[in-house]
Structure 1
């Protein structure tokens, strides 16, 4: 099984040779933000728009980097999901 996965990774690298891995893309983007823009909650939609991929691929990266998922509840029962950077730790 691991040989098959390695082959798939090589094929993906051949198709997209100049594109860095998603975690590097995220860190480069996040690091380029001004400090005031970094220290706030983010929605997954923001990440998806910037990185051009789905949240299911972004969330494992965020968790590895120490980000936390939070929810803001309202009296109507609806909620807003967001991600908090490790520096805030709200």
Structure 2
């Protein structure tokens, strides 16, 4: 039974890796197609979810791997807005 479970785990890991790679390719293509002037700004997760047709819990690891940073903007009421900032590239 243990070998069977290990085999299932390996197959699931491979499928997750392929999905993440595919999502990363989709993201890079989408972001690359944006006009230059709109690329260097904060983005909300909702924008990514709508563009890629998936949930933020799947997009977050891709963004982190590509060097994006998660930030929060606090308000005086103690609430905050989360956003993502693209990696800084030297020009």
Coarse TM-score class (shorter-chain normalised): 0.7 to 0.9
Aligned to 2:73: 72
Aligned to 1:29: 30
Structure 1 residues 6-45: Cα deviation after superposition (integer angstroms, max 9, x where no partner) = 2773xxx8xxxxxx81000000000000111100000000
Q: Which has the higher helix share?
A: 2
TM-score, structure 1 normalization: 0.78
Give the number of equivalent residue pairs.
Answer: 79
Q: Determine the C-alpha separation between the residues in 1 that align with 2:7 and 2:85.
A: 37
Q: Determine the C-alpha separation between the residues in 2 that align with 1:39 and 1:57.
A: 22
Q: Determine the C-alpha separation between the residues in 2 that align with 1:79 and 1:63.
A: 20
Aligned residue for 1:70, secondary structure, equals strand
Which structure 2 segments of 5+ residues have no match?
Answer: none
TM-score, structure 2 normalization: 0.77
Runs of 4+, deviation exceeding 4 Å: none
Could you say what the CA RMSD is over the residues aligned between the two structures, in angstroms?
A: 2.1
How much has 1:50 moved relative to structure 2?
0.5
Pairs within 5 Å for 1:20-59? 21-59=22-60
Describe the shift of the 1:65–1:75 C-alpha distance in structure 2 as closer, same or farther (beyond 3 A). same
